[in-house]
Structure 1
């Protein structure tokens, strides 16, 4: 009996030891599983909105180049002349190029075509400028400049004007030059704000003046149309509207110099200065983007989509809707009209001091109502 009792005690102790071991093993396994689950939870995938926001920008943010050092400056002019487009470019240290801005404008003002040959320009060189003989390749001329901040070089390059939209060709070259300064691209609707319009030899020309940091690896030659680096075949011109656009010009509006981007231009004087009216044909873009662009030009804050409806009025022009908007800033006003027609957007814009703009509001509205397409 004593032996049996002793055996029973041994079995009980052994069983208890076995259960304790199993219990410890279970706790360890649960602990391991808990740790793995915790690690998985921490490594959650980012939400769709976060990924989208990090990889997409609106077109209105495309000019944000605030991180680019402002060490260099570029002045350039694009001069379409029928079958040829002429490119004038001056780039280098910021202060040195800035000191030559007025001289460059005088130089461009002296350019003439047709004195010796209809396709060959002549010009008057400012003091300190010297044309270097033996220009070759794509360059028509190289002009060396000695002035403040060290020597500079102005290049003059002609290229064939290809078919297609003149705005697209100008935009491509402006963005190419911006890229050389490591600046962001702009879109067609921003061209008017990001460039100046001047007259060269009786033709409308586009002037750029940008500051950034020159990237010599991106100094590609100009191209009159299409994408850089790819031979371009002439493209047929963009089809014009089935009927030409017409409108009634109010009394007092004088014909102005249309820009290389614009279809028509007028000027009108008033109590506190002159206003300029432009008519431009571009590809369609969101109404809100364009209204906010105009508002920004006169120092107003952007509208939200919900606010847009209260700021836009529809005017009917011979059966076609025109979106009319007024942006009144502290000193300047912009009256705008946008007409969408067959994949094309027509932009009508009056910009000037507040006084003359207010005086011309009724005339501008009548101008929009008279549009015929």
Structure 2
């Protein structure tokens, strides 16, 4: 008898939550928050030590991070290439494009870029796992030297250090007239969740149905188009969607980055690169921007059409965060979805106010 009652109770719970989930699906207005970014897996799946080579350049209003990480045995043969590459880095005068240049070895292959990466190189395409060198551009507020050094040490499984330890574990070198901070660490490999980027934003949880006047960091509200499907987030996005049309699929991401996040020009030129277009000057970018009113602020919007793919982008500034909304897909699909994209951007309401 007891067993039957227990079974009925379990069935009742399943039915209750099934009905609850179905009811939630009818809700167009979505309150969305996150308390952390989805972490990648452990940096080393074997017992082999992990090595990290990195450089930090501060130039004007930008901070540049160059990093190579992988099995220590594989990086030994690549150390000289990395150091030579870093010493070719040079910066253009303020406002010039591209803002940074380098001489990469001929055997390196250019990899994919995204909101996070200004550039990626596959320095050993046949390696397993692949060895990737990444270049990231951020603003002045990309974290202190100590915070970034400890973040890198955590990624290779080493403990944190204090400010007083820095002179003994970093190297400073003037490269092409700009001071660089150089780091080289080897450890057992970081745990899952150790790959936090330098500008990762963290938001406290919000209730599923927050009151209209609630004030909490993050996105307070948005309206998702009916034919958009919400999918698992990427490492940087707060919300991710996809939309399928007969002509193909488009992906949509909502991404928060700290502070100015490298500036409007560099981010739009990175989007242009993703659809095979050359960078533009600040004046050309400004002339191509349109404005769209959201529930919290004004979004600066751009429409970038390449030979096959197209990107719709919106950039929204709040007091300590820059929000990027991006749709990327085949030209035909993105054209069909432009009105839905603009409606989504207009529906955004941020809980931390706006400039």
- TM-score (normalised: structure 2): 0.41
- TM-score (normalised: structure 1): 0.39
Larger radius of gyration: 1
- Higher fraction of helix: 1
